[in-house]
């Protein structure tokens, strides 16, 4: 590789990395806000905030990195045109098409990371995140309950207090629960008990040997009952939809099922690295500009190209999932025309007059 190509490679890589960091920080901010809302609704234990944030952020790599690669290359190559460096390179025989080598070596690792994240890391992390939440719903220890401390139940379902808790967090001793349900106060005490999970979302406190006091707030008429066994339902967490379940399914299992929804998810995963490579090829001709020409309009047009491509991929995935489009065709009806257009623009870009030459 020539010295000037190594210099351009470094410039391209720095630009792509800077854009990727900014986009990732923005994505993490949105993901953090969503997680806080889920914690407030009792879907996710507060102690799992950081682990869920890290695991779920991997899925954003498949969306952020293609855009970061595209914008980073556009900014870096556009700067070469704006500062007349492309004119200097053309004068020594390095036209736009000769930039393919540094562009390739910048795009290749990004495409590989997107492919790895889309086909393997993202499903694995989604499965792990889901598994951690499921485990937390079977254990009060992970959910943040500590012996000798008052804890609010999920969804403002009441106040819980225990004096003893087993190491696995499923059994407890000397329990106190206070709840307010439709204007009625409900206080329950029990000598011991355990946490039961019924189905996928319903959780119960199974209590032994205790008392229950209930009555309307603001009134003096309360009644007390003694029980040998009693179950108290803990507020449910919301169960994820089918699409969320597919994101946690590994790619090999999606192939084995052969159902339209699973094949649509598989085609989406395979589409992202291909889309990233096509965007990298688009970057070179789209970044062309004259010296001192404003680049903001160019960036907006390029974002339009990215948005149209993403919308077509989403449309294609939906058609495959509904069975209206054969899975064998996949999303190549989007990729091939875009690839052909990008290749034509890339080849044509080398024959355009360079800045400073006669038109």
Q: What is the pLDDT of residue 355?
A: 43
Neighbour order of strands in the sheet with 202-216 = 151-152, 159-165, 171-181, 184-198, 202-216, 222-234
Q: Domain ranges in the chain? A: 3-136+242-349, 151-234
Beta bridge partners of 151: 160
pLDDT under 70: residue ranges of the chain: 1, 41-42, 87, 90-97, 136-145, 153-157, 169, 198-202, 234-245, 290-298, 350-359
φ and ψ at residue 14, rounded to 5 degrees: -65, -40
Alpha helices in 259-295, H assignment, sequence order: 260-286
Q: For residue 286, how far is the Cα from the chain centroid?
A: 29
Alpha helices in the chain, H assignment, sequence order: 3-40, 49-82, 85-91, 100-116, 122-136, 242-247, 251-257, 260-286, 296-321, 332-349
The DSSP secondary-structure symbol of 118 reads I
Q: What is the pLDDT of residue 213?
A: 87
Q: What is the pLDDT of residue 90?
A: 67
| Residues comprising the chain, all counted | 359
Q: What is the pLDDT of residue 5?
A: 79
φ and ψ at residue 303, rounded to 5 degrees: -65, -35
Q: What is the pLDDT of residue 242?
A: 40
Distance CA 306, CA 72 (A): 13
Tokens read off for 194? 């355990």
Distance CA 179, CA 177 (A): 7
Tokens read off for 248? 């946690």
């Amino acid at each position: 590789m020539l010295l000037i190509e190594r210099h351009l490679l470094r410039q391209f890589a720095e630009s792509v990395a800077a854009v990727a960091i900014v986009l990732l920080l923005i994505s993490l901010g949105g993901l953090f806000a969503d997680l806080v809302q889920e914690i407030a609704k009792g879907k996710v234990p507060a102690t799992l905030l950081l682990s869920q944030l890290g695991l779920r952020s991997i899925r954003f790599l498949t969306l952020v990195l293609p855009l970061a690669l595209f914008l980073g290359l556009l900014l870096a190559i556009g700067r070469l045109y704006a500062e007349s460096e492309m004119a200097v390179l053309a004068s020594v025989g390095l036209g736009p098409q000769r930039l393919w080598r540094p562009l390739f070596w910048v795009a290749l690792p990004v495409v590989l990371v997107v492919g790895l994240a889309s086909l393997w890391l993202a499903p694995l992390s989604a499965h792990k995140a889901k598994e951690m939440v499921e485990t937390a719903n079977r254990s009060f220890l992970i959910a943040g309950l500590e012996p000798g401390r008052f804890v609010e139940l999920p969804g403002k379902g009441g106040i819980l207090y225990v004096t003893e808790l087993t190491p696995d967090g499923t059994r407890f001793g000397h329990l106190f629960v206070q709840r307010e349900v439709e204007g009625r106060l409900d206080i329950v005490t029990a000598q011991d008990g355990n946490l039961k999970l019924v189905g996928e979302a319903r959780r119960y406190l199974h209590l032994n040997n205790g008392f229950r006091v209930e009555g309307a707030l603001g009134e003096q008429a309360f009644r007390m009952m003694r029980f040998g066994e009693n179950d108290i339902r803990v507020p449910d967490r919301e169960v994820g939809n089918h699409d969320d379940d597919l994101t946690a399914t590994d790619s090999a299992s999606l192939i084995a099922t052969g159902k339209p929804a699973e094949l649509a998810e598989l085609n989406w995963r395979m589409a992202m690295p291909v889309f990233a490579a096509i965007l990298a090829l688009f970057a070179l001709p789209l970044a062309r500009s004259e010296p001192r020409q404003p680049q903001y309009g160019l960036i907006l047009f390029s974002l339009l190209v990215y948005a149209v491509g993403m919308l077509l991929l989403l449309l294609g995935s939906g058609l495959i999932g509904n069975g209206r489009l054969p899975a064998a065709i996949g999303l190549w009806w989007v990729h091939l025309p875009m690839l052909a257009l990008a290749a034509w623009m890339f080849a044509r870009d080398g024959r355009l007059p360079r800045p400073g030459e006669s038109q």
